[in-house]
Amino acid sequence: MAHLATKKVGAALHPKEKFSVRLRKDLRNNWILYLMALPAIVYFLVYCYAPMAGLYIAFTDYKITDSIFGGEWVGLQWFIRFFKGPYFVRLLRNTLLLSLETLVWGFPIPIIFALVLNEIRSKPFKRVAQTITYLPHFISLIVICGLVIDFFSLDGLVNTIIQAFGGEPIAFLAKPEWFRTIYVGSEVWQTFGWNSIVFLAALSSIDVQQFEAARLDGASRLQQMIYISLPSILPTIVTVLLMRIGHLMSVGFEKVFNLYSPATYETADIISTYVYRQGILGANYSSAAAIGLFNSVINLLLVVIMNKISRKLTETSLW
């Protein structure tokens, strides 16, 4: 009887009350797990979500002497000014081209490297190869940019080799047509080893019996790679690709900023560097906030669209 009465009382609870009861029970049973997650939750609340209140200044005429919510409301004025401005097309084109070229070259190379490295049976050679390719990831970005500038300067290593073969030195970093090549090449060199780790981890989880069965059927190493290894890590590839597309408009500001100059603005100036000049150098904080918000919204839309396409084509998605 008491059990039936309890069931009736539980059934009579409002859905919100049911949720609160379940929540209290879950907190009571798993309080240690929630306590462990608390530092991460606080971090994201303080450093990721709380600063979003500052987006308000993208819709106001904010002055440094005002409070965040003290500026005069101007609506979409800064967005319209940016869209109609003389640099909008150039900034959007440079940002997309630089991102797409980095994605086209920088995304498949770690996959190919992981597949090839997975086929190597010599463990010492594999460890050496991994160490050498991982090292650039741990070098400071400023040092990387310094190396790039030294290598491609008029008296640098690249021009020394060109002159040794009878050519004329080229001012690579002062020519707009060379900027994307230098940026993408240095980005691939710096990141492909580190980015291959996730694919190597996915390859290590493949059942070795599949390879043994393929060898018994006469499959070559290349056939095993194409028909077993690659399909097995396809969900990982799709997930990583979706995450990369989510940052398509967020080209690395630091590297571009340290490598570009007014002479290369034609191909090197991107949205994030323009935001820096508007906000930090020009003290036009409202305009910088509006442009940054536009950039983030485009990234969000790209992730949502590509996630839907991926779910329909490959049945793999982020959510």
Higher local confidence (pLDDT), 80 or 2: 80
Instruction: Let me know if residue 318 belongs to a domain.
Output: no
- Is residue 4 situated within a structural domain? no
pLDDT band for position 205 (cuts 50, 70, 90): confident
Indicate the SS3 state at residue 229.
helix
Same domain as 102, residue 25? no
Question: How much is the pLDDT for 8?
Answer: 46
pLDDT at 115 > cutoff 80 = yes
Number of domains in the chain: 2
Q: Is 287 exposed, middle or buried (0-12, 13-18, 19+ CB in 10 A)?
A: buried
Q: Is 62 part of any domain?
A: yes
Same domain, 54 and 169: no
User: Cα(276)–Cα(294) distance, rounded to whole angstroms?
Assistant: 15
pLDDT recorded at residue 192: 92
52 and 152 together in one domain: no
Q: Give tens-digit pLDDT for 232-257.
A: 998 889 888 888 887 777 777 889 99
How do the residues of the chain divide into helix, strand and coil, expressed in percent and rounded to 5? 80, 0, 20
Report if residue 1 sits inside a domain: no
State the amino acid at position 269 in one-letter form: D
The size of the chain, in residues, is: 319
8-state DSSP, 61 = E
Integer Cα distance of 145 and 186 in angstroms: 9
CB 229 within 8 A of CB 115: yes
In eight-state DSSP terms, residue 173 is G
- Any domain includes 221: yes
Would you say residue 143 has pLDDT above 90?
A: yes
CATH number for 256: 1.10.3720.10
Q: Is the distance from CB of 152 to CB of 182 less than 8 angstroms?
A: yes
Domain that holds residue 40: 15-73
Report CA Rg, the chain.
Answer: 26
Asked if 205 and 114 touch (Cβ cutoff 8 Å), the reply is no
For residues 290 and 177, membership in a common domain is answered with yes
Q: Which residues of 206-241 are buried (b: 16+ CB within 10 A; e: fewer)?
A: eeeeebeebeeeebeeeebbeebbeeebeebbbbbb
Predicted local distance difference test score (pLDDT) of residue 14: 60
Q: 264 and 140, same structural domain?
A: yes
Q: Is residue 56 part of a domain?
A: yes
* 155 lies in the same domain as 298: yes
- Domain assignment present for residue 9? The answer is no
Q: Is the pLDDT of residue 319 over 80?
A: no
Q: So what's the pLDDT on residue 296?
A: 85
Of 51, 73, 95, the residue at which a domain comes to its end is: 73
If pLDDT is split at 50, 70 and 90, which confidence band does 59 have? very high
pTM score:
0.80
2 lies in some domain:
no
